Each structure stands twice: as C-alpha cells, then as structure tokens.
Structure 1
C-alpha cells in the first residue's frame, strides 16, 4: 500500500500511464464529459473534493509544461491557477470544452463553482 501521494488506485494508475504532451482536464462537477478520454470521477458531494484540493494533489505528482483555462473563470479559482501555473493560457469556455475531447485523462471534482476547469499539458522531468 502507498503511504503518501494520491491513494485513489484508479487515479494513481491513470497518472502513471501519462506521457509528454498528454492532456489532463481537471474539471468541476458540471463540465460536460466527452466520449473518449479516460475519466476518474472523484465527485462525492457538491464541493467535495474541491477543485483546489484535486489540482494541488495532481500538481504534486505531475510535471506540467502548460495549461489552458476558460476566459470566463473569475475570482479565487483564477487567482489559484495563475499562482500555480505560470504562463496559463485562456480560451473561450466553448473552446475549452472542444479541447477536452483530446485529453488523455479527465479528473472530475465535486466543485460546484462555474468554470473551475483547467486542461494541463504534461511535461517531462528531465
């Protein structure tokens, strides 16, 4: 048994399969989930787990070379993303939904705030 890091076996296994340039969408509970990408649904109740908790856990485990969020994102989640993901790019929310179809992995949170979604692009550790 793992003693730290992401303990959810489905999520830990999916992360181990990612490679350079693979996309990982971290999304709120209301984001439409396209057919195709692998989905790990962590949503339990409205707000649980939060977008911030899940994003922080993923950033502890992944090398991220880029990220994209929706222009419509406002407030605390926008500040959170800009602090943690320098060079964050913005696109219209409709475009982010289109891009999500090309993600390799989608991690759905219980977040109940609008536009709390980010598409991460995996990097390499060397």
Structure 2
C-alpha cells in the first residue's frame, strides 16, 4: 500500500500511463467533459475537493511543461487566476470556448468538486530529464 502521494488508485494508475506531451484537464464540477478522454471524477460535493488541492497534489507528482486556462478566469475568479499565475509564469490564456475545444484532446480529465467559475487548466506533460 502507498503511504504518500496520490492514494486514489484510479488517479495514480492514470497518471502512471501518461507520457511526454499528453494533456491533463483539471476542472471544476461544471466543466463539460467530452467523450473520449479517461475521466477520474474526484467530486464529492460542492467545493470538495477543491481545484487548488487537486492541482497541488498533481503538481507534486507530475512534470508539466505548459498550461492553458480560460482568459475569463482573471475577472470571474481572481484567486484561481493568482494560483495559476503563481505555478505557471508562462500560462497561456484562451477564450473559455477554445479551452473546451482543446480539452477534447486531453488524455486524462480530473474533475474536482470546485464550485467557482473557470477553475480549469489544461496541463501538458513534460519529461524529467
């Protein structure tokens, strides 16, 4: 049994299958999810787990070479915008509709219980060497 890191077996297994360039959408409870990507739904109830908690846990285990979020996050959800800017100085911002289009190509979707708008980010996996 694991004693640290991500303990959810579905999420830990899905992360182990990712490779360089694969996309991971970390999203709020309201983000539409297209058919295709593998989905690990962590949402328990509104706000649980939060987007920030899940993102922090993922970043502790992944190499991320890029991130894309909706430009609308800046005005609609300043705390999430600040969190993303703090982790990703080169964060790409696109219209929310474009983020939804890009998300269709993600290999993995991790749905949180976040109930604040535009708490979504598409991560691009990097390599550790």
TM-score category, normalised to shorter length? over 0.9
* 2:89 corresponds to: 86
- Please give the secondary structure, in 1, of the residue aligned with 2:69: strand
**How far apart are residue 85 of structure 1 and its match?**
1.3
Q: Structure 2: where are the runs of 5+ without partners?
A: none
Stretches (4+) displaced over 2 A? none
**How far apart are residue 86 of structure 1 and its match?**
1.9
* 2:117 corresponds to: 114
Query: How many residues get paired?
Result: 126
The 1-side partners of 2:16 and 2:101 are apart by: 25
Q: TM-score, normalised by structure 1?
A: 0.99
- Please give the secondary structure, in 2, of the residue aligned with 1:76: helix
Q: RMSD value over aligned CA atoms?
A: 0.4
* 2:101 corresponds to: 98
- Please give the secondary structure, in 2, of the residue aligned with 1:15: helix
**How far apart are residue 38 of structure 1 and its match?**
0.2
The 2-side partners of 1:76 and 1:55 are apart by: 14
Q: Structure 1: where are the runs of 5+ without partners?
A: none
The 1-side partners of 2:116 and 2:25 are apart by: 16
Where do residues 56-75 of structure 1 align in structure 2 (5 Å cutoff)?
56-74=56-74, 75=78
**How far apart are residue 78 of structure 1 and its match?**
0.3
- Please give the secondary structure, in 1, of the residue aligned with 2:73: coil
The 2-side partners of 1:122 and 1:85 are apart by: 13
Q: TM-score, normalised by structure 2?
A: 0.97
- Please give the secondary structure, in 2, of the residue aligned with 1:35: coil
